[in-house]
Amino acid sequence: MSPEQLLALDARHVWHPFTQAAAARPPILAASAKGASITAADGRTYLDLVSSWWVNLHGHGHPAIAAAIAQQAATMEQVIFADFTHAPAAELAARVAALLPGDLDRVFYSDDGSTAVEVAMKLSLQFWSNRGIAGRDLFVGFEGGYHGDTVGAMSAGHSSGFFSAWKGMLFPVETVPFPATWDGDDAVAAKEAASLDALDRLFAAKPGRVAAVLIEPLIQGAGGMRMCRPAFLAALAERVRAEGALLIFDEVMTGFGRTGPIFACQKAGIVPDLVCLSKGLTGGFLAMALTVAREEIYREFLGPDLDRAFLHGHSYTANPLGCAAGLASLDLLLSDACSARRAAIEAIHRARLDDLATRADISRTRLCGTIAAFDVGGSGGSGYGAAIGPRLKAAAFDRGLLLRPLGNVLYLLPPYCLSDEELHRAWDGIGQILAELAG
């Protein structure tokens, strides 16, 4: 079929996510992808600076992951995960548990970031009820947090502003301010204190009521790449422990090396009670997620009664192809070559952000691991719907750069295979786009 025919089929039959089809440009027909580049059917290439929605850890089409999937597919593509287990699932669970700190040893498999969060929330509620403790049924999230599109995840992220159409189906979740910070921010300590005070007040007003506090550690992703300091997470963990509630780290985006160490909780020196992982887990090849629980939580689900068990699961739970991809991706992630690339990307980001910081039309430069972000000024306000966002994106696409601003926030979250030359090309392009839009 010709590209024109395929685009006509898409226009007639496909409903794209997060897209206002009445106003959007027609989608780009992707034909192949290798390393950091996506090639379109018309021959144009796009440098994937967002790791295709933050999943492609090592770039596209990595031969080691492709080979691992092919080998697994030839052996066993899928098997029911109740009454059965299999080597890739057992090995992947053990390897992830070994990388996580403390007794985060129990791995529950699900399908994507949203389900990983949904599982963590359901586990929290059932943990308290299995313990025979009534009334611990409230969740606390952070303003601007985003945790996915299922009902629990939407409820936890209700302040992100994405979910007004579904207000009626969400359950109440308390929120406290997130102490977002950036380079040279001299108000950060005051913001952290205000956030912790709000939490203290909430705990004081509702003693023994909070089941769990849920946070994207170090970086709120979809909320605008808003970053906080590791010390804030340590202070938060202390308060949550003192109140006796559970602490859930949603590391769906921050996991697998994005913030520097393999997991953000390591940077903060914290052992949360539950950790949600997805996105980079399979290196971007297959949809899969993990909710990792401390052993103490798992034990609360054991007993003679079926009711005490976690009666939750998905058809494709622990799909062997996804697990094989996860194992191959971990091998790549833990290699010296990958650490060196991540360090190089962070160093280039730092230098280029510092250069950019001299421009009057940008502010709030920030960096955490391989994630760099800044706010772009101009009329049209800020936030996800800021008018500047679509203009920035269109200008980037025209230059062969796949960037998806979050409103007026421009960020780079590249695959670790990105070369120095490619990254400098991206930053040069950003400089040209800003100059063009300013003119």
Residue ranges at the known binding site: 53, 113-114, 146, 250, 279, 313-315, 404
Comparison of 88 and 221: residue with beta carbon closer to ligand PLP: 221
Select the residue interacting with ligand PLP from 113, 152, 320, 429 (CB under 6 A): 113
Residue 199 touches ligand PLP, criterion: CB under 6 A: no
Q: Binding site for pyridoxal 5'-phosphate: which residues?
A: 113-114, 250, 314-315
Tell me which residue of 331, 317, 285, 283 sits closest to 79, measured CA to CA. Answer: 317
Site string for ligand PLP, 29-58 (x = CB under 6 A): ------------------------------
| CA gap 369, 227 in Å, rounded | 11
Work out whether 348 is an interface residue with ligand PLP (CB under 6 A): no
Amino acid at position 53, single letter? W
121 vs 356, which CB is nearer to ligand PLP?
121
Contact by Cβ (8 Å): 276, 116 = yes
User: Least CB distance from residue 254 to ligand PLP, whole Å?
Assistant: 7
Q: What is the largest CA-CA distance in the chain?
A: 71
Q: C-beta of 176: minimal distance to ligand PLP in Å? A: 17
Identified binder of ligand PLP from the candidate list 100, 138, 196, 222, rule CB under 6 A: 222
Q: Which is nearer to ligand PLP, 281 or 433 (CB)?
A: 281
Q: Counting contacts by CB under 6 A, is residue 148 touching ligand PLP?
A: yes
Q: Which CB, 118 or 192, lies closer to ligand PLP?
A: 118
- Rounded Cα distance, 429 and 422, in Å: 10
Q: Which of 48, 105, 112, 375 binds ligand PLP (CB under 6 A)?
A: 112
- Given its phi and psi angles, is residue 100 left (phi above 0), alpha (psi -120 to 50 degrees) or beta? beta
Among candidates 127, 155, 126, 150, which has minimal Cα distance to 139? 155
Q: Quickly list DSSP for 299-329.
A: HTT-SS-GGGS-----TTTT-HHHHHHHHHH
Q: Is residue 278 at the binding interface for ligand PLP, with CB under 6 A as the rule?
A: yes
Residues in contact with ligand PLP, counted by CB under 6 A, come to a total of: 14
Instruction: Return the exposure string of 193-202: e unless at least 16 CB atoms fall within 10 Å of the residue's CB, then b.
Output: eebbebbeeb
Listed residue (382, 259, 47) closest to 374, CA to CA: 382
Does 216 sit near ligand PLP (CB under 6 A)? Answer: yes
Residues near ligand PLP, by CB under 6 A? 112-114, 117, 146-148, 216, 221-222, 250, 252-253, 278
